[in-house]
Amino acid sequence: MESTFDALILGGGFAGLSCAAALAEAGAKVLVAEKKSHLGGRAFSFRDPGTEDVLDNGQHLFLGCYRETRRFLARVGAAGNLTLFPKVRVAFASAPGRKDVLSCPGFLPAPWHLKAGILKFSGLSFSDKAGLSKLDAYMRRHLADATAPAELDRLTVRQWLTSLGQSPQAQARLWDPIALGALNDDPAVAGAPGFFQVLREAFYREAAAARPALSSVGLSDLYAVPGARFIESRGGGIKTLAKISGLVEKDGRVCGARTESGETLLARAVVSTLPPWDLAGLALPADLADGWRRFTASPIVGINLWLDRPVMGDEPFVGMIGTDIEWAFNKSLILKDGAKPRGHYVSLVISGARKHLKRPPAELEAMAARDLAACFPEFGKAKILRARVVKEPLATLSPAPGTEALRPEPGLARPGLFLAGDWTRTGLPATIESAVVSGHRAAEEIMKGDSR
């Protein structure tokens, strides 16, 4: 049986396209198979039919420590689509119209820049800040560890932070917003390893690592469109509406995949970047380790509002404290050029939004209006012109305690078959950066000829 492609990539999201682009650059003939009619996996954008503005299916905040993501974007000629902020500065809003800003000086090395920022942070009392020393000592003690300490996989973020003397105020006004944004789950539900990884990479490696970055275009234009163009320009192929039903094996080696339409796609190496709940539905080799079959997803709900006036001032994004809405993004400031909205458009995010999934859009819009009125005084003068709710029930892996030990390593899983995806064990929580790290790692193993 002769292989048609050097590599078959299952899934057209960040993991799949980063893997395919790296292989295509090295001269491999690759085919990306995506079940949807468009690329982007669980991170894509579309046009709102009412305004023709670009909407992401879920708002993402990037960081300076997303090194592999930036490497991927540079490879496909899209680095200019990501705007990296000059320093760590995050505003937090709470009722009644209060604003606190965490600003970390860029001239200090990590983690001293964080300590200086917290020292000036008006959102915490002196006793709250004094309690941070125990957390700092723990991070320093384990900074050189290759993985998160094993004992953390038995604890939630809430349990871990409480055990390190973090006050309820410190958790609510500082750590919880970071955990929610990075892990897409409630700190009382999410396991501690992911948050340890976030703190380590963002605040303890180098001062620039926690600098926020935002896409100035929709997610599809950020990476999916330029990624596909790059792959096709080097002889690769993109096949949409190709839902995979199972893998093809010959002589104990995976050599391709079958689609639900009955087509067989052959390759010398197959890379699955499918999320675990999709992978579990395939006909798989019997000897493939499958502890990941128990994984569940954490949802995200986005509420998009078009207003008759600006309400967030000059802040591109704001963490919201004590509200159902967790983060607000000022898309009128963030998006540029052809993606710039015509009016005053804000994107609101609720992570780990299980209790909100079945709520009708009108209820969610009313809730958003209540929360914005509590946090932004200008909202009382505004009129909502349009609203659009976007629900993603399967947005990310839910990082419950015990999950970290069951995440499979990215790369070779059995002869001919490689695993990648944000949910694999990359040393990071299930983020965009984790997805790209896994895609690059799988590509590197294939290029070394390590497909036994």
Q: Is residue 349 part of a domain?
A: yes
Q: Are residues 364 and 431 in the same domain?
A: no
Q: Are residues 189 and 231 in the same domain?
A: no
**pLDDT band per the 50, 70, 90 thresholds, residue 210:** very high
How many residues are recorded in the chain? 452
pLDDT at 100 over 50: yes
Distances (CA, A) of 135 to 92, 125, 161, 289, 296: 22, 17, 8, 35, 29
Q: Is 7 in contact with 446 (CB distance < 8 Å)?
A: yes
Q: H-type helices in 297-431, by residue range? A: 331-334, 361-375, 403-406
Q: Are residues 392 and 309 in the same domain?
A: yes
CATH code of the domain covering residue 337? 3.90.660.10
Q: Is residue 153 part of a domain?
A: yes
Tokens of 12: 């057209």
pLDDT score, position 339: 84
pLDDT score, position 451: 54
Return d(Cα 85, Cα 37) in angstroms, integer: 34
Q: Is residue 290 part of a domain?
A: yes
Return d(Cα 28, Cα 67) in angstroms, integer: 24
Q: Are residues 134 and 264 in the same domain?
A: no
Q: Are residues 324 and 382 in the same domain?
A: yes
Q: Is residue 386 part of a domain?
A: yes
- Which pLDDT tens digit goes with each residue over 4-23? 899 999 999 999 999 999 99
- Which pLDDT tens digit goes with each residue over 335-377? 997 789 988 999 999 999 999 999 999 999 999 999 999 999 9
Return d(Cα 39, Cα 195) in angstroms, integer: 29
Q: Are residues 382 and 426 in the same domain?
A: no
Q: Which of 189, 160, 194 is nearest to 178 (CA)?
A: 194
The residue type found at 286 is A
Return d(Cα 18, Cα 154) in angstroms, integer: 32
pLDDT at 452 over 60: no
- Domain count for the chain: 3
Q: Is residue 442 part of a domain?
A: yes
- Which pLDDT tens digit goes with each residue over 112-142? 999 999 999 999 999 999 999 999 999 999 9
Mean pLDDT of the residues in the chain: 95
Q: Are residues 301 and 349 in the same domain?
A: yes
Q: Is residue 58 part of a domain?
A: no
Q: Which of 210, 202, 192, 181 is nearest to 321 (CA)?
A: 181
Mark which of 205, 229, 246 sits at the end of a domain: 205
pLDDT score, position 397: 97
CATH code of the domain covering residue 415? 3.50.50.60
Write out the residue range of the structural domain in which residue 429 sits. 5-45+219-296+400-447
Which letter does DSSP use for residue 220 in this model? I
Tokens of 291: 């502890």
pLDDT at 102 over 80: yes
Q: Are residues 191 and 228 in the same domain?
A: no
**pLDDT band per the 50, 70, 90 thresholds, residue 1:** very low
According to DSSP, the β-strands at 297-307 and 384-397 are antiparallel
Q: Is residue 71 part of a domain?
A: no
Q: Is 267 in contact with 31 (CB distance < 8 Å)?
A: yes
